[in-house]
Each structure stands twice: as structure tokens, then as C-alpha cells.
Amino acid sequence: MKKLLTRIIPGLAWLSLAAAQVPPPPAGMPTPAAPQLGADSYILMDFDSGTVLVEHQPDLRVDIASITKLMTSYVVFQELAAGKVSLDDAVPVSEKAWRTEGSRMFIEPDMQVSVEELLMGLIVQSGNDASVALAEFLAGTEEAFAGVMNYYAGQLGMAHTHFVNATGLPDPEHYSTARDTALLSAAIIRDFPNYYTWYSEKEYTFNNIRQHNRNNLLWRDPAVDGLKTGHTEAAGYCLASSAKREGMRLVGVVMGSSSEQARASESQSLLNYGFRFFETLQLYKAGEQLAEGRVWKGVSEQVRLGLPDDLFITIPRGRYDDLEARVEMQPELVAPLELGAEVGRIVIQLDDEPVASRALVTLEGVAPAGFFGRAWDGIRLWAGSFFDDE
């Protein structure tokens, strides 16, 4: 088999985000080492590119306490999006939901509480009672609802996660990781932007009881707009956070901090480090032509090539001009070609190291030529291979 053809794309990016208005490090200064936190495990990830900027034992299996409620709410959002329930639906409160221990929104037996009210009680007040009420409403039992939670965990690639309840109350078979929690957090932001705004609410009042959001970063940093805290003796203090500054969004997760103050300070340290020393750029848009490929035996001799999705990269600040892009393409494209067929890859490099690699696909289909066109191109291909072999 012939080697892939390689060539440099002139003009690296025709669409890039303006750099965030954060003073860049001095010219020539290497990126400082990431902060060392006291938490058992943690991760910092860029939302758009998926690049992990900081990590420490990100796949360590841990008790995640009320961070579990991120998946509880994600399942409810899916049901809302599918039209199976509505925010106005009245949910009956069972004896089990009322008696659930831990943090509560203070619903009472035989109350009829709307889905929206329960979501606010779950997200802002971290109500275990709200979690159980929603689980029973959607799946009949909390145990059955946990099965749905595990289904979505699999769909999202949360390979080291298993749920047995909707609350996060301790159980040996209920666990996740910092990395999986970051994936779930990003999915909520990406898939349900309208509902995501609820995670920035600082307080909520139900049954004449006002409670504050336990995420202290909402008061400390105006860029922070989510997501969820957790705490049990087994889990320690945990926080999944997200912030957006000048178009760049980061997702951070700390697991097993020593105190409420520590989890906030450690999360803030991660976010500040990411915004200070890195930038995220959109290099190419989905569907934009990046290259052309020569097509043999087709009604057209050229086919436009591009990406199926937007391409974002995260790099140290001030290094944009040092990026290089190249296309690695199959040496011979033979019709018929379907729309979206993968014919190579685009690779972005910095200092000769790849920072992104994406499939290069056809932006249009190419039908086969008639008999004589196919025959003529067949001869030309044969002749070319003959001389190549020589």
C-alpha cells in the first residue's frame, strides 16, 4: 500500500476566536507547572476542545456524594427534551422521598410538586428528597431510575462510573471519577444550555424555606456559572465547576478536598491557571473547504474536503503563530464517493507535537463516470503505478 500523501495547508485558520482579554505571559516564558492541590483527585478541561490542561489521578474511583445529582438532572433533561414530561407536570411526593436523609428541599407527603420546582430544589438546594421524587416519577422506583442513569453514563463514555441511587448517599457500588464527572458536566452545558442556567442560581425558596446554593464560587467569581457540590464523610468535599471568560469555557472537578473552603479555593486555582496560561481557538468550521482531492473514475475530477465538526484547539497563550497544519490524504480517491466519506486526516502540530487530529471528509458526493471515463482513468492509474514501481 502506498504511503499517505502529506502536505501543508496554506493559511492555517480563516476563522479564529479573538484571544481572551487576559494579559499573556511574558514572551518566551514557558508555561508554569500546574498548581498542586490537596484534593484526592482533580481535572481541568477545556469545554470546546476537550483538552485536559491539569489532572491528578483523574480516573481514581471515588464516592461523589451529591455530585451524583448532575446525572439525576441530566436524565430529567433528556425526558423533557423527548417530550415525555413537562416542567409543569405535578409530581406526587412519596413517603420514601419525604423520609430520605441528608440535604432536603422540604417537600412533604401527598404534596403535588412540579417537575420544575423539584429540579430547582435538586440543583440549587441539593435536595435528596427532590431527587427521589423525580426518580420515582420518571421510572417508578429509584432503583429503576439508577439503571437509566447508568445507561446515559455509558452513552457519555463515563467508563469508570456506576450509580445505584439518585442522591449520592453512600453505597460501595456507587462511584465515579473526576474525569467522568467532567464529561458529564460538559454534556449538560452542551446538550441543555437553557436548563444549564439554573446551576448559576444562588438561592431558591420552597415551602417558605430559602436555601443558598452551596457552590461558593458563584459569589467569588462572576465567570463561574455552575455546577454542583458534594459532601459526605466518605467522599470528602467535592465540586464540579465551570466558568467562561472572554469566550473560553473551562470545566474543573475536584474530589476529596479537606473542607468546604478548600474545595472552593482549589477549584478557583485550577480555573485561574487555565485562563491565565492557555487560550482556545476555533481553527476551522464544520463544512468549510480545507482542501481539494483528485478523483479518479468519477463524473468530477475534484472533490471538496473539510471537517464534519468545528475544530477547536487549546494551546499555551501566545503560541498561535507557531502552529502548523497538514493534510494526510489517501493517494488515490476513486469514485463513487459518498458525502461525508473519510479520505484522510488533518493534523495540527505545535513544536512538532500533535495537538489535534481530525478526520478529513468529502463535502459532496461524486458519482462514477461512464464506461469510457472509467476505462481511461483506469489506464492512467495503471500507468502511474507502473512508473511508481520502477
Residues tagged active-site:
66, 69, 126
Cell of 370: 461512464
- CA-to-CA distance for 380 and 53, rounded, in angstroms? 50
Q: Which of 373, 360, 362 is nearest to 296 (CA)?
A: 373
- CA 234 vs. chain centroid, Å, equals 27
Give residue 65's region: left, alpha or beta (phi > 0; psi -120 to 50).
left
Residues 6+ apart with CB under 8 A from 232: 63, 65, 168, 169, 170
- CA-to-CA distance for 150 and 158, rounded, in angstroms? 9
Q: Which of 78, 48, 106, 64 is nearest to 195 (CA)?
A: 78
Peptide bond into 92 cis (omega under 30): no
- CA-to-CA distance for 322 and 305, rounded, in angstroms? 24
CB 106 within 8 A of CB 209: yes
- CA-to-CA distance for 325 and 346, rounded, in angstroms? 7
